[in-house]
Every structure is written in C-alpha cells, then in structure tokens.
C-alpha cells in the first residue's frame, strides 16, 4: 500500500525545487534593442505579473519608472503614465 503523505511529500519537494530554479527572461526596459537576460525565479516573475504596469528590468535599465523592488539581479519597476 502506498503512503499518500510520502508520495505528496516528495512530489511537493520536486515542485518546490522547480519553483526555485531561476528563469532567464528578457529585460523589459524601454530600450527597444535591449535583449539582455534577467535571472528571476518563477515565483518572483508571477508576483510581478499580478500587477498591471510592473516590469522586470536589469539594474540600471530603469528610466523614468518608479522602482518597486531592487534586487542585485533585477529591478521591478512601475511604468509611469506618459
Ligand atoms: Zn534593458
């Protein structure tokens, strides 16, 4: 007989591992030619996506945007209405 608690425990460990893995997304700054990659976890990425007007950019790529989160690897910025 399979112990369900054990099955879900190891399944959840695999899910958590996947969640912690860093994605490489393309910088979302205003520079059209910018294709620099930004390391971010899926959890962080979806957190940003929950907010309209929030973008992930590389540090230093912000312009007039308001910085919401400053991490060594990326900034979360809010686009200000033009
Ligand atoms: Zn950029």
Question: What's the 10 CA to ligand 1 centre distance in angstroms?
Answer: 38
Which DSSP category does 50 fall into? T
Residue 1 banded pLDDT, cuts 50, 70, 90:
low
CB 22 within 8 A of CB 39: yes
**Dist CA 15 CA 42 (whole Å):** 11
pTM for the whole structure: 0.73
Mean pLDDT of the chain: 90
**Dist CA 52 CA 21 (whole Å):** 24
Question: What's the 42 CA to ligand 1 centre distance in angstroms?
Answer: 19
Q: H or E stretch including 66?
A: strand 66-70
Q: Which of 17-21, 22-26, 47-51 has the lowest mean pLDDT?
A: 17-21
Question: What's the 41 CA to ligand 1 centre distance in angstroms?
Answer: 18
């Amino acid at each position: 007989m399979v112990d369900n608690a054990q099955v879900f425990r190891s399944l959840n460990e695999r899910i958590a591992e996947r969640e912690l893995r860093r994605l490489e997304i393309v910088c979302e700054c205003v520079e059209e030619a910018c294709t620099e990659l930004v390391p971010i976890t899926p959890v962080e990425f979806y957190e940003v996506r929950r907010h309209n007007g929030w973008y992930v950019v590389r540090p230093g790529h912000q312009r007039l945007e308001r910085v919401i989160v400053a991490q060594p690897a990326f900034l979360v910025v809010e686009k200000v209405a033009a």
